[in-house]
């Protein structure tokens, strides 16, 4: 059989004489085509990304200036870090929901879905941009805001210019590898959740996904109360957090990360299937 022969839509490759050759067909993933698609998207988004960077920098510069205290950069306070991390998760959730804008309303959806790139490449490109590109843009804006707010404060208020180190204090919790892992896994799960929401609702995707999560939490809490008494819930909580199971913090991190990774895989796969279903339905109308 020749190397160019294709016997299956998803050809994984072949193993021969001690070396493994990985080959995928153009139907699923082609690195060169995928790279061109990603770079083309970034080029087309440059105006929107620039506006987002300017907006984020302006908002956080204003916040840091308002709550600035003489001698101590605002970014070192716990309140500032809470605002930064809250803003980060809202930003990546909103960025994940932006897939709905790309897909568009039904009358224009076929334009996105018939782009000569596979569904897998579109989906992976969206995930990569949300996991890598948007966080980099967000924290670059925070760094600029940190220095800009201190410069404005020292100029207007006559205070000493003391911006501290870039993102001072923001990553102090990352000294604990367990918290670092939880933060990363939670971020990716958030991205998978809101990306799935974008494939379900093309109008007001972010708000509808937030509402769905809120309703789910209410239903879940209500269901637990039907099957478990307050005493049973209290006993379970006591065992986990007061008893022996979480005496070792690694048990806590292991449990949380395992649950979140499983949720991320399931939500991500459903989102991919949903996007694939949209493509099949719309391009065959």
- What is the pTM for the complete model shown? 0.75
Q: Is 202 helix (H, G, I), strand (E, B) or coil?
A: coil
CB 117 within 8 A of CB 37: yes
Q: Is 167 helix (H, G, I), strand (E, B) or coil?
A: coil
Strand pairing report for 13-16 and 19-22: antiparallel
Helix residue ranges per DSSP H, the chain: 31-66, 78-97, 99-103, 109-113, 119-128, 134-156, 177-200, 205-227, 230-237, 249-283
pLDDT of 49 over the 50 cut: yes
Mean pLDDT, the chain, rounded, equals 76
Q: What's the average model confidence in pLDDT over 154-160?
A: 76
pLDDT digits (tens, 9 = 90+) for 91-121: 999 999 988 888 877 666 677 767 778 888 8
Torsion angles phi and psi, residue 261, rounded to 5: -65, -45
Q: What's the average model confidence in pLDDT over 14-28?
A: 47
**Which residues are bridge partners to 24 per DSSP?**
none
pLDDT of 247 over the 90 cut: no
């Amino acid at each position: 059989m020749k190397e160019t022969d294709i016997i299956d839509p998803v050809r994984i490759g072949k193993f021969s004489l001690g070396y493994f050759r990985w080959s995928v067909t153009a139907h699923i993933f082609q690195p060169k085509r995928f790279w061109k698609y990603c770079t083309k998207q970034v080029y087309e988004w440059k105006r929107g990304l620039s506006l987002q960077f300017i907006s984020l920098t302006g908002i956080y510069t204003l916040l840091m200036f308002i709550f600035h205290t003489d001698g101590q950069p605002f970014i070192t306070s716990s309140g500032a870090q809470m605002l930064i991390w809250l803003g980060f998760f809202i930003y990546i959730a909103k960025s994940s929901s932006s897939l709905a804008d790309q897909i568009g309303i039904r009358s224009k959806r076929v334009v996105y879905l018939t782009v000569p790139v596979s569904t897998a490449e579109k989906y992976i490109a969206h995930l990569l941009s949300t996991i890598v590109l948007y966080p980099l843009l967000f924290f670059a804006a925070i760094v600029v805001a940190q220095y800009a707010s201190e410069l404005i404060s020292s100029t207007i208020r006559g205070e000493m210019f003391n911006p501290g180190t870039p993102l001072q204090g923001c990553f102090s919790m990352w000294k604990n590898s367990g918290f670092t892992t939880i933060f990363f896994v939670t971020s990716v799960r958030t991205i998978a959740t809101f990306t799935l929401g974008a494939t379900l609702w093309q109008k007001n995707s972010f708000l509808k996904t937030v509402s769905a999560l809120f309703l789910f939490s209410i239903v879940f809490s209500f269901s637990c109360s039907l099957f478990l008494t307050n005493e049973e819930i209290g006993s379970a909580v006591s065992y986990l957090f007061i008893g022996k199971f979480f005496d070792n913090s690694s048990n806590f991190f292991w449990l949380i990360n395992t649950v979140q990774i499983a949720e991320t895989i399931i939500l991500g796969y459903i989102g991919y299937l949903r996007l694939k279903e949209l493509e099949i339905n719309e391009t065959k109308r």
